[in-house]
Amino acid sequence: MLQSRTAGILLRIALVAILIYMIFLLVHVRQQITATQAEIRTLTEEVADQTQTNTELTNAIENRDDPAFLKDVARERLDLVTPNDRVFYITD
């Protein structure tokens, strides 16, 4: 009788220990899932940014001989103006 009672108590202790281990394991896996989802969102944003950059570069390559494109590049990047343009300098 004493042995069966001791065996029952040991079985319950073992089951509680396994249950606690499983709970900790599930919490850890959930944290990994959350971290991975955040990383997926970050990488998706990076892919979208890089796709936009690639599109802009492709357009620049395709229009490299277009006079209007070259004029826009000269105005925006090189600050060049045509003789009839008015230039305003804004100082803060």
Please give the mean pLDDT across all residues of the chain: 90
**Contact predicate 88/82, CB 8 Å:** no
Instruction: Give residue-wise pLDDT tens across range 13-57.
Output: 999 999 999 999 999 999 999 999 999 999 999 999 999 999 999
The pTM for the full model equals 0.56
Domain boundaries, the chain: 2-78
